[in-house]
Amino acid sequence: MALFKTVALEFVNQLNKNTMSEKIGIEITEIGEDYLRGRMPVDDRTVQPFGILHGGASAALAETLGSIAGTMVLDPEKEYCVGMEINANHIRSVKSGFVYGTARPIHIGGKTQVWEIRIEDEKQRLVCISRLTLAVLLRREQMTK
């Protein structure tokens, strides 16, 4: 059984319009039954002064993928999610090309969610492993019901 509600890839990518994710080139590339996949360029927007992928850019990719994935399992009319904590272990440096992230759920609860995001280079070598904890919040109009 699919974890995610049926959502068009184009719609999901529209969520990044006019956000940091769009500015650094994050693109959602695939929605699976229990995962969300995206990519980010390693270029002048995402490298640190030594010319390698910035750890903060990896964390931004991880939080973007995990947050979108977390939203996709909720009823957006009633709930939304926000990041509570992110952990990122940087394993390998990357100087160019793209990195690809895959978000998979560890825990989907009524009040919290935990997602694992693996970021790999173009040769499928692990670049960063991240864990994101999300808080599930009620929309204001739901609080009065």
12-24 pLDDT, tens digit each? 899 889 999 999 9
Q: Number of folded domains in the chain?
A: 1
Cα 126 to the center of its chain, rounded Å: 16
The answer to pTM > 0.85 is: yes
Residue 3 pLDDT exceeds 90: no
71-80 pLDDT, tens digit each? 999 998 899 9
Residue 81's CATH number: 3.10.129.10
The range of the structural domain enclosing residue 45 comes to 9-143
What pLDDT does 142 receive? 59
Are the beta carbons of 127 and 90 closer than 8 angstroms?
yes
Residue 1 falls inside a structural domain = no
State the CB neighbour count (10 A cutoff) for residue 54. Answer: 17
Q: Does the annotation mark 77 as catalytic?
A: no
Burial of residue 3 (number of CB atoms within 10 Å: 0-12, 13-18, 19+): middle
Residue 81 falls inside a structural domain = yes
Residue 3 falls inside a structural domain = no
Catalytic site residue from 10, 30, 33, 63: 63
Residue 4 falls inside a structural domain = no
What pLDDT does 11 receive? 87
What is the chain's mean pLDDT, rounded?
Answer: 93
57-104 pLDDT, tens digit each? 999 999 999 999 999 999 988 999 999 999 999 999 999 999 999 999
State the CB neighbour count (10 A cutoff) for residue 139. Answer: 12
